[in-house]
Amino acid sequence: MAEAEIVGWAHSKFGKSEAPSTLELMAEVVGPALDHAGIEARDVDGIFVGVYNNGFSRQDFQGALVAMGSGGFDHTPAVRLENACATGSAALYAALDFIAAGRGRIALVVGAEKMTALPTKETGEILLSASFREEEADVEGGFAGLFGRIAGGYFQRYGDRSEELAMIASKNHRNGLSNPFAHMQKDLSTDFCNTVSEKNPYVAAPLRRTDCSLVSDGAAALVVADAETAAQMKRAVAFRARSQANDILALSRRDPTAFEGARRAWSGALGMAGLSLDDLDLVETHDCFTIAELIEYEAMGLARAGEGYKVVREGITAKGGRLPVNPSGGLKSKGHPIGATGVSMHVMAAMQLCGEAGDMQVPDARLAGVFNMGGAAVANYCSILERTK
């Protein structure tokens, strides 16, 4: 079974968009993605849409909206997928399976979300639908409250790592200065991120505002093609490996600080690729909250449990470090429009491998890891990407 390869992409500016809905947001990236791949709408055999929604809009049936906003797709098969914050990766992996099964040669993947139109409290309630409501619906602070609990449990077990979380936030904001698509392009010092203040209050202690990703609007798109077709394209980025692993939804039924599903996804992808972390040139990882990035260092194998702080302290994941993590600025700076996030992360990695990342570019990038998770490390996707053309 041959994997499909990425042959084109497009990315909108993340932030508070004037676009009224996901229909318009998706239309912003579909045409440019086709142009980047050098194809037309009639060449696309299937459309795979990632939109979380769950109440952000009364309009659903999101898979049908691509044809509404972009011409030439009236009769192209389209489907929408949802898998919490990993919705975009779910859409991408479905497209890859579609190509691998021989059902088509070219597929279009679009991820989008319109989040900023609703009041903050309502947005928080919608996001809690990615938790186990029976036990977690009343957590103060919404999803930030869930990760606040995770951070609190981690600190209780391994010691207070608030300063290291501030260092992660500062790193990602510094990286985001070079990303023209980022929601917040602002350099925040470690001291600012580590100080509770009027401008940086607790959102869900011990997490401060600077520890939390942004509520954003945005869209991203990928064009994927079978290997034979990709060989004729201007560029091609292959999946050296990809892996998905789940963990149980309810936090009460697992160790919330272990991210076991993430560990399994990373182990599966690296094993399939025949690689170690030392072979990778960069990683785009899911820093919905800074505590998530810290624990992900441990899940991917950069540090032993409880020692992720050493990775930050030693500068391993800085832009010029041994393994740059989130050179795009991550969700922390770039923003987190739920359905777009997984697609965006793969776009950012593909840009790096093709030398098209501009000021974000990691020199001589050949292999990239992408880790996107849904919920509190419930749905975990890990891709290892390499350029083939």
Q: What gap in Å lies between CA 115 and CA 224, rounded to an integer? A: 27
Using DSSP, state whether 373 is helix, strand or coil: strand
Has 212 been annotated as catalytic? no
Burial class (CB in 10 A: 0-12, 13-18, 19+), 361: middle
85 strand-pairing partners: 83
Q: Please pick, among 85, 212, 288, 382, the residue that the annotation labels catalytic.
A: 85
Burial class (CB in 10 A: 0-12, 13-18, 19+), 157: exposed
Using DSSP, state whether 289 is helix, strand or coil: strand
Please answer whether residues 193 and 210 qualify as being in contact, where contact means their C-beta atoms are separated by less than 8 angstroms: yes
* Sequential DSSP letters for 230-262: HTTSS--EEEEEEEEEE--S-GGGS-TTT-HHH
Q: Which of 98, 59, 57 is nearest to 78 (CA)?
A: 98
Q: What gap in Å lies between CA 90 and CA 33, rounded to an integer? A: 19
Q: Please pick, among 173, 183, 336, 346, the residue that the annotation labels catalytic.
A: 336
Helices (H), the chain: 22-37, 65-69, 87-100, 120-127, 133-136, 142-158, 162-176, 190-194, 227-230, 260-273, 290-300, 308-313, 330-334, 338-353
Place of tokens 């290997």: 227
Please answer whether residues 294 and 164 qualify as being in contact, where contact means their C-beta atoms are separated by less than 8 angstroms: yes
Has 183 been annotated as catalytic? no
Q: What gap in Å lies between CA 124 and CA 128, rounded to an integer? A: 6
Q: Give me Rg for the CA atoms of the chain.
A: 19
Please answer whether residues 227 and 99 qualify as being in contact, where contact means their C-beta atoms are separated by less than 8 angstroms: no
202 strand-pairing partners: 208
| Active site residues per annotation | 85, 336
